Amino acid sequence: MEYRIERDTLGEVMVPASSHWGAQTQRSYENFKIGIETMPLEVVHGLTVLKKAAAIANNKLGKLSDEKCKLITEAADQILSGEYDDQFPLKVWQTGSGTQSNMNVNEVIAHLANDIAGENIIHPNDDVNKSQSSNDTFPSAMHISAALLLKGKLVPNIIEFINTLERLEKENEGIIKIGRTHLQDAVPITFSQEISAWRSMMLANLEQINSSIDGLRKLAIGGTAVGTGLNAPDGFSEMVCDILSKETGFEFKSKSNKFHALTGKDALVFSHGALKALAANMMKIANDVRWLASGPRCGIGEISIPENEPGSSIMPGKVNPTQSEAVTMVAVQVMGNDTTIGIAASQGNFQLNVFMPAIIYNFIQSTVLLADSIKSFNDNCAIGIKANKDKMSYFLENSLMLVTALNTAIGYESAAKIAKYAFENDLSLKEAALKLEILDEATFNELVDPSKMV
């Protein structure tokens, strides 16, 4: 491999000739060979669009020449196109402020800008990082990447799933089945009512996530190193946020208290709490689906789901609820991530939190996993759910809990006597009621009507 010499304040560094990064990126690449987790590209692109906005703001405020502004924005656009995604190799497990990833972006932008210019006129610190520090750019990029990913990927997939559930709800209106509590038979419910719970859960999660995004709109940019704004010109923060809003189509605002913005990560904790709530609901829905589809002959079998792939390497013809299993694994991963984020966010010391790469890595992972798994579950399972009306009817007709309808007519204890007698003697409720001479057939038929119980 061929190398070139790059320099920083610590001296000379050998950098692969084909790379577009500089000395500080190379030092981090060599010094933090920890794990396989690299900084998410969503964060890299968040930093990049922030650098573009900062260059434009610096130019408008008279701090950066027209030529340098143009070169930086052109280089940033090249990165945002995805053309140079391989130029950001740094691990998550680096400095807790994200300084090295900030410099990675600064160096690649500077290198590309100088390639465009044909000469070295853009400096990664003096020009690309002008009016900034890692301490305000990295937390700003965390909010930018999180907000855009939630709004651009997760929210649309939740809405698509809600639409599927709404269709299923309408298609299954009037189908009465037995309800279940404690994994035991309960009183009747319609299948559409059961589905309505799933739909309502997703609507609630959607509202919670959208509410949490508002906190992510507020950015730390302009706070520089400790929140005082030293080296940032007046109006810089507000101008950057206005430019970012135009660039992304998403409204960002300057956080009023920059000291809070640099050291506190509560907005991300709050937002991830909404993701944990979504994970909990998806776990419940996925479990409901695989229980209801269990069988095909020795389980509940009230619904059928698409058969996507063989389920066993030894049992021919076996098909498993694999989409539900994927969702439930994602759910527990998100719950684990929530613990990591909560603990990491509690570790801010004085004017900075130095667990930021871990926080945003887990946040991005949770968002991507939930978005992808919900879409996969919707496209490969939910859209193909079919009710097994015969099985639902069988369980309904044989359930002892229909006796609940007799409570108001004969009292709880007499109704319980009928249910216990029916169970112990393998009789229907009607047969038991007649045998015990508690009710006549006509009265029983009038009172025990599942259609009146839902």
Per-residue model confidence as pLDDT tens for the chain (454 residues): 899 999 999 999 999 999 999 999 999 999 999 999 999 999 999 999 999 999 999 999 999 999 999 999 999 999 999 999 999 999 999 999 999 999 999 999 999 999 999 999 999 999 999 999 999 999 999 999 999 999 999 999 999 999 999 999 999 999 999 999 999 999 999 999 999 999 999 999 999 999 999 999 999 999 999 999 999 999 999 999 999 999 999 999 999 999 999 999 999 999 999 999 999 999 999 999 999 999 999 999 999 999 999 999 999 999 999 999 999 999 999 999 999 999 999 999 999 999 999 999 999 999 999 999 999 999 999 999 999 999 999 999 999 999 999 999 999 999 999 999 999 999 999 999 999 999 999 999 999 999 999 9
**Same domain as 119, residue 204:** no
**Same domain as 288, residue 384:** yes
Residue 438 near residue 410, CB atoms below 8 Å: yes
Catalytic residue among 18, 65, 312, 428: 312
Establish if 309 belongs to a structural domain. yes
CATH number reported for the structural domain that contains residue 414 in this entry:
1.10.40.30
**Same domain as 410, residue 269:** no
**Same domain as 116, residue 158:** no
How far is the C-alpha of 353 from the C-alpha of 47, rounded, in Å?
18
**Same domain as 291, residue 155:** yes
**Same domain as 162, residue 113:** no
Establish if 196 belongs to a structural domain. yes
Catalytic residue among 182, 256, 313, 451: 182
Instruction: Mark whether 182 is an active-site residue.
Output: yes
How far is the C-alpha of 372 from the C-alpha of 376, rounded, in Å?
6
Establish if 224 belongs to a structural domain. no
**Same domain as 186, residue 63:** no
How far is the C-alpha of 49 from the C-alpha of 83, rounded, in Å?
15
**Same domain as 358, residue 328:** yes
CATH number reported for the structural domain that contains residue 316 in this entry:
1.20.200.10
CA distance to 55, 69, 77, 345, 421, per residue, from 74 (Å): 11, 9, 5, 35, 82
CATH number reported for the structural domain that contains residue 126 in this entry:
1.10.275.10
**Same domain as 192, residue 55:** no
Query: What is the CA 451 to chain-centroid distance, rounded?
Result: 40
**Same domain as 291, residue 332:** yes
Tell me how far apart the terminal alpha carbons of the chain are, to the nearest angstrom.
Answer: 73
pTM of the complete model: 0.97
- Cβ partners under 8 Å of residue 134, min gap 6: 97, 98, 99, 102, 103
Establish if 234 belongs to a structural domain. no
For 110, the domain range is 3-130
Count of domains for the chain: 3
Strands 218-219 and 253-254: parallel
**Same domain as 426, residue 374:** no
The DSSP secondary-structure symbol of 188 reads E
Establish if 424 belongs to a structural domain. yes
Establish if 251 belongs to a structural domain. no
Instruction: Mark whether 312 is an active-site residue.
Output: yes
Length of the chain: 454
Helix (H) or strand (E) holding 11: strand 11-16
Establish if 243 belongs to a structural domain. no
Question: What residue type is assigned to position 265 of the chain?
Answer: K
